[in-house]
Amino acid sequence: MNLLITSASSLLGVQLADAVRSEHALRLTDFSVFEGEDEVIACAMDADESTESLVAGMEAIVHLTEPSVEFLGASSDPDGLRMDICSRRTDNLLTAAVKMGVGHCVVVSTLHLFDLLDPRWVVNENWRPRPSTNSHLLCPYVAEFVCREFAREGKLSVTCLRMGDLVASIDEEGAIENSFALLPDDASGALRSALEKVGQGWNLYHVQSDLAHVRSSTKKAKGALRHFNP
């Protein structure tokens, strides 16, 4: 299918694009264009025709809530920039998507929305998020909030993947202690499945690799996302 990936220059964007490029025709976009192997379309995601052109012809969108380090680094107020991306620009993206007939958006959020809970609890999709005021965590929560209203009104289907932290291997330094660790293959499998399985309305999954001390149950994702086999 024709697939748009936002913040495609970010580390996660590059990883996820690689995971699905053999199965889908990709259009990559970012707020600014940086050097890389792929062609990336620069789009500010303002409320104008440029955002409508960006999504025209797409069947699905993978919307990343964390922009690239390079883009954030160029701002005098990176916290405010994150908030703008996750609120106004996310609304603009979905408004354009609805207008241009895009049927599905996969929004990639974070399992760190539960950081304020006692880490001894194992959470799942039914738990209320407790984001901190740190913009890394508050802003993905805001993006979820915006996307959920579009799903609630049936304007398009939204799949929300709350992902753990990408690690190269479970044995790498630090990954063993990270109870939200997520291997690249597991992240890729979850996204590939999410693009195949389009449920109506709002579809929420917690995605992390199997560890001795997981913070989140992945039972729902394992049951619904066939390529996700952590």
Partner 1 sequence: MKVLVLGANGMLGPHVVEELEHDYSLRLTDIKKPDTEHEWQSVDVSCYEQVLRATEGVDAILNLSVLRDDPRYAFPVNAMGCYNIMRAAVAHGIKLIINTGPHFTIAGPSYTDFDDTINPDLPPHPGTLLYALSKGVGQEICRVFSETEHFHVLTLLFYNFRDHDEARSWLEHPFSVSWRDAAKAVRCALEVEVGTLPSRCEIFYILTDLPHGKFRNDKTMRLLGWKPQDRPREIHER
**Which residues here bind partner 1, judged by CB under 8 A?**
46-47, 77, 79-80, 83-84, 87-88, 91-92, 95, 116, 130-133, 138, 141-142, 145-146, 149-150, 152-153, 155
Q: Residue holding tokens 């001390």? A: 213
Report the residue number, 70 or 79, with the smaller CB distance to partner 1. Answer: 79
160 forms beta bridges with 107, 204
CA separation for the pair 176, 128 (Å, rounded): 26
Report the residue number, 45 or 175, with the smaller CB distance to partner 1. Answer: 45
Report the residue number, 158 or 190, with the smaller CB distance to partner 1. Answer: 158
Fill in the amino acid letter for 187: A
End-to-end CA distance of the chain: 25
Report the residue number, 148 or 222, with the smaller CB distance to partner 1. Answer: 148
**Are 194 and 225 a contacting pair, CB within 8 Å?**
yes
CB of 73 to partner 1, least distance (A): 18
Sign of CA dihedral 165, 19, 195, 5: positive
CB of 93 to partner 1, least distance (A): 12
CB of 117 to partner 1, least distance (A): 12
CA separation for the pair 154, 202 (Å, rounded): 9
204 forms beta bridges with 160
- Which residues are CB-neighbours of 36 under 8 A, at least 6 positions away? 9, 14
Report the residue number, 95 or 217, with the smaller CB distance to partner 1. Answer: 95
DSSP H helix total and E strand total for the chain: 8, 9
Report the residue number, 137 or 221, with the smaller CB distance to partner 1. Answer: 137
